Amino acid sequence: MKPITGRKHVRKALAVLLLLPFAAGCSMGGSSPGTAAIDPPPSDLEEQMVNAAADPAMASLASDSDGLTVYLQDGNGFVAPMTLRLSEEASGKSKEEQAIAWMTQGQVAADQLPAGFTPLLPEGSKIRSVTKDEQASSVTIDFDGTFPAMPADQERKAIEALVWTMTELPNVKQVLFTVDGEPLLLLPASKLPIDKTMSRSMGINVEQAAGLTPSRSMAVTLYFAARSTDGEGYFVPVTRLVDRQPDKNRAALQELISGPLNTNVLKPVVDSSIAIDKVGEADGLLNVELKDASWEPEMLVPATTVQAVVLTLTEVSGEPKIKLAINGTDSFKDTNEQSYVEPISRPLEINALER
């Protein structure tokens, strides 16, 4: 598989606090020294947190593609995207319905999935309908009888996977969950409340560093590198709670440079010696200037570094493109011999499966 082919501050403190109950329960392959356990908040506060999760302003991040990006669980327990090719026999189904099929165990042969990846919905999951509302930019997933039975610590991951998969599709910003037509507001095993309308603001693979004060924090989603059991590289999105700062884009880029907290399974994508010179938005474009004392214009930049920067900053800013410069110049190429003189668009496909 290839990591890529082709291509505002959290609303309120409560929107950040919503992420907290899940950080401790989603260690994804073991805890790291820099990660602190988090006690669940009082139930009345938790309800307020969940109500703050829906963010209608969250921009849609995808355009039409001949691939379908779904979120699966990797061998380390992370929820990660994988772009798959649409089959001709499934052409009668909507992309939303095809995505649900790929995310359900038993509906796709195991050898069609990347090594170590598994669907998060259990075999036998019953879904009455998957309905897209173009005007509301939303998708409603209606379960038959009940939310699929699964361990409590998997329910949050399943919701993450469904929300992030659906919002990869064109003109989808929000996801609603219902059971027999009635809003699903409480997950059965974990007793976790969820809002009637969910968006990417809920985060994914949530983590926080030790010493963080939740009431003075914000969330940024970063893309780090990992390897499958057969050695293929791919990106993993991680939502990290960090100290609240006035420039969210700069903060995200600095956290990307700082690297993953769980270094046992996630790998850095930007050299720690790189410094941020400028970050600014103008006319639908995010301008980023980096400094690297050891870099010369004739040197190739790692493609994974450029890709991770683009994924992270387009995710955080909502801007569809970034303009990247290193040591004051945009005349450079990456290790794939790709030039970056022109602005770089967010990719249409992430972790494209080569089969």
Q: What is the mean pLDDT of each run of 10 residues along the chain (355 residues)?
A: 47 40 38 33 35 34 66 97 77 88 86 88 96 97 97 97 97 97 97 96 90 89 94 95 95 96 94 95 91 92 96 95 95 93 93 76
Residues 6 or more apart from 246 whose CB is under 8 A from it?
none
Does any domain span residue 107?
Answer: yes
CA distance 208 to 174: 25
pLDDT per position as a tens digit, 192-247: 999 999 999 999 999 987 788 888 899 999 999 999 888 889 999 999 999 999 99
CA dihedral (146, 150, 153, 155) positive or negative: negative
CA distance 264 to 302: 21
Does any domain span residue 207?
Answer: no
Residues 6 or more apart from 64 whose CB is under 8 A from it?
170, 348
Give me the DSSP letters along 141-193: EEESSSSPP--HHHHHHHHHHHHHHHTTSTT--EEEEEETTEE--B-TTT--B
Does any domain span residue 336?
Answer: no
Token pair 């219902």: residue: 178
Across 164-203, b (16+ Cβ under 10 Å) vs e yields: bbbbbbebbbbbbbbbeeeebeebeebebbbbebbbbbbb
Does any domain span residue 81?
Answer: yes
CA distance 112 to 29: 24
CA angle 219, 222, 227 (to 5 degrees): 140
* DSSP code for 6: -
Domains in the chain, number: 1
Q: Are strands 344-345 and 321-326 parallel, antiparallel or unpaired?
A: antiparallel
Does any domain span residue 147?
Answer: yes
Residues 6 or more apart from 49 whose CB is under 8 A from it?
14, 15, 17, 18, 20, 21, 41
Does any domain span residue 18?
Answer: yes
CA distance 305 to 249: 16
Q: Are strands 79-85 and 127-133 parallel, antiparallel or unpaired?
A: unpaired
Token pair 């959290």: residue: 10
CA distance 103 to 285: 34
Q: Residue 230's pLDDT is what?
A: 85
At 286, which helix (H) or strand (E)?
strand 285-291
Does any domain span residue 154?
Answer: yes
Q: Residue 30's pLDDT is what?
A: 35
Q: Which domain range does residue 178 map to?
A: 2-202
Does any domain span residue 301?
Answer: no
Give me the DSSP letters along 22-84: HHTT--SSS--TTB---PPPPHHHHHHHHHT---TTPPP-----SEEEEEEE-TTS-EEEEEE
Q: Residue 121's pLDDT is what?
A: 97
